Amino acid sequence: MNSSTPFKRLSPLKEVLVWFLIATAIGVTMWLIYGVYDDLTSADLLKELTIYLVFSYFVFAHIFGLQFILHNVFGNSLSKLKRIWDEAVSWLVALAGFFLGMINLNWFGAWVVGILFPEADFALSGEWLTYSVILFFVVGLIGTFILSYFTMRLNISESYRILYEQERLKNEMETAREMQMGLMPDKAPEVKGFSMSGVCLPATETGGDCFDYLWLDDDRSLFGIAVIDVSGKGLKAAMTSVMASGLIHRESGSHHSPAQILRNTNHPMVRKTEKTTFAAMLFAAIDTRKKLLKFANAGQMPPLLLRNGKVEELTVDGVRLPLGIKGNVQYDERNVPLKSGDLLLFYTDGVNETINSRNEMFGIERIKKLLAKLDKETGASTIIDAIIQETKAFRKEHPQYDDLTIVAVRVE
């Protein structure tokens, strides 16, 4: 069983049933040992058996009472103990309940015997007490074994249930990952006058990052790039990024303005996502004939422009609030003329916020220095590979905590 699987007990009803059977066994055994068979009628024998059973149930009622107090008053403290100590404490409480019951049996026994056999006297003998203690331990150990057996089966069943649930979730995550990765480009687009490449590396099986390419017009002169980073990780973030990508495709069929596309995408995002879920998104439109970049930014990292060995952060005036937080946000856009040899880098914060074992961030300056050292002829895919290798070398054995997405565009 997985060590992380919590130890489960039988239901209270089943546990009481097991101990009821134990108490019955003890009562019958004591009757067989001490019963008077020759001088009693069948009716009296039944009364005598009833007395021994009532005695046994009375004593075990004390055990149940103390056990109830133990697990309901000190349950939190017991849950922090190892199972062996939990069992030991339960046994000590059971023993205390047994002796308390035997003490009270002096007056209770006289009362019960007086009802069924008015002429008889009742007194607990030392021999009777000795046999009772022996039987309590023998039958109690048998009962503990029975409880342990059924508890073990319960925990094995629970363990299998958890493993099944984990496997089911794993399959769902793999399916979501395949769906998410299948919606992203699997190869570099062919755009005349430009070299492009993109990659998305989720931190887990699925993540909130994605990117996409799309033509915005029929004559294929206006090329769109979307870079999305949804808050959170896992299946929920992946499905939200898929939804955001679909909304972008819908809006791009009616509008060519990046700012307008973000504005129109924001409305359904606000309605369809939770308040704690939002999507940072950058949408860029490149006029391949005029070599002009238009882009709007909704909370995404500012793209970088490498020109003549110098790196510039391309910012946009106005609101940069991520999509899905507030309705009726008016996003602005910026036009940037492009020149031959220029390099555009779009990326999510998983790159610059890569952390090493000393809790240091990779930072934007390291990205800029890396880009500044590149040759003008370096291709887009080679640039992305270099950035990924640098981030891996920086964090070394430290795990990747955030999704990482990069799109590089080289102007030829």
pTM of the model: 0.62
CA-to-CA separations, 273 to 1, 76, 266, 324, in angstroms, rounded = 38, 38, 10, 7
Q: Which residues form the domain of 21?
A: 12-174
Q: What per-residue confidence (pLDDT) applies to 5?
A: 44
- Residue 136: is its pLDDT beyond 80? no
In this structure, is residue 1 part of a structural domain? no
- Residue 26: is its pLDDT beyond 90? no
Q: What per-residue confidence (pLDDT) applies to 228?
A: 93
What is the torsional sign of CA 264, 266, 271, 272?
positive
**Alpha-carbon distance 84 to 88, whole Å?**
6
Q: How confident is the model at residue 6 (pLDDT cuts 50, 70, 90)?
A: very low
Strand partners, 199: 406
In this structure, is residue 25 part of a structural domain? yes
Q: What percent of the chain has pLDDT above 70?
A: 79
33 and 163 together in one domain: yes
What CATH number did the domain enclosing 230 receive?
Answer: 3.60.40.10
Q: Which of 148, 174, 200 is the last residue of a domain?
A: 174
Between 262 and 157, whose confidence is greater? Answer: 262
| Structural domain count of the chain | 2
Answer yes or no: are the C-beta atoms of 354 and 404 closer than 8 Å.
yes
Tokens at residue 251, please? Answer: 């809006």
300 and 199 together in one domain: yes
143 and 203 together in one domain: no
Of the candidate ranges 64-68, 211-215, 316-320, 353-357, the one whose mean pLDDT is the lowest: 64-68
Q: How confident is the model at residue 375 (pLDDT cuts 50, 70, 90)?
A: confident
126 and 217 together in one domain: no
Q: What per-residue confidence (pLDDT) applies to 240?
A: 84
For residue 406, how far is the Cα from the chain centroid? 28
155 and 195 together in one domain: no
Average pLDDT over residues 287-301: 96
In this structure, is residue 5 part of a structural domain? no
In this structure, is residue 94 part of a structural domain? yes
CA-to-CA separations, 164 to 152, 156, 158, 193, 235, in angstroms, rounded = 18, 12, 10, 52, 18
The mean pLDDT value of the chain amounts to 82
pLDDT tens digits, one per residue of 236-249: 787 888 888 889 88
Q: What per-residue confidence (pLDDT) applies to 1?
A: 38
In this structure, is residue 4 part of a structural domain? no
Helix, strand, coil percent content, the chain, rounded in steps of 5 = 50, 15, 30
Phi, psi of 327 (to 5 degrees): -80, 165
274 and 390 together in one domain: yes
22 and 98 together in one domain: yes
User: Coil, strand or helix: which one is 227?
Assistant: strand
Q: Which of 174, 203, 231 is the last residue of a domain?
A: 174
- Residue 116: is its pLDDT beyond 50? yes
Q: What per-residue confidence (pLDDT) applies to 86?
A: 63
Between 281 and 206, whose confidence is greater? Answer: 281
93 and 214 together in one domain: no
How many C-alpha atoms does 211 have within 13 Å on its Cβ side? 29
In this structure, is residue 252 part of a structural domain? yes
263 and 191 together in one domain: yes
**Alpha-carbon distance 21 to 1, whole Å?**
29
Q: How confident is the model at residue 7 (pLDDT cuts 50, 70, 90)?
A: very low
In this structure, is residue 179 part of a structural domain? no
pLDDT tens digits, one per residue of 45-82: 888 888 888 888 888 888 778 877 777 776 666 556 55
Strand partners, 410: 195, 343
304 and 344 together in one domain: yes
Q: Which of 117, 151, 174 is the last residue of a domain?
A: 174
Average pLDDT over residues 347-353: 94
88 and 49 together in one domain: yes
Q: How confident is the model at residue 3 (pLDDT cuts 50, 70, 90)?
A: very low
Answer yes or no: are the C-beta atoms of 348 and 388 closer than 8 Å.
no
Of the candidate ranges 39-43, 81-85, 198-202, 391-395, the one whose mean pLDDT is the lowest: 81-85
304 and 226 together in one domain: yes
In this structure, is residue 2 part of a structural domain? no
**Alpha-carbon distance 126 to 385, whole Å?**
87
Q: What per-residue confidence (pLDDT) applies to 298?
A: 95
Helices assigned H by DSSP within 117-125: none
Answer yes or no: are the C-beta atoms of 41 and 49 closer than 8 Å.
no
**Alpha-carbon distance 368 to 314, whole Å?**
13
- Residue 302: is its pLDDT beyond 60? yes
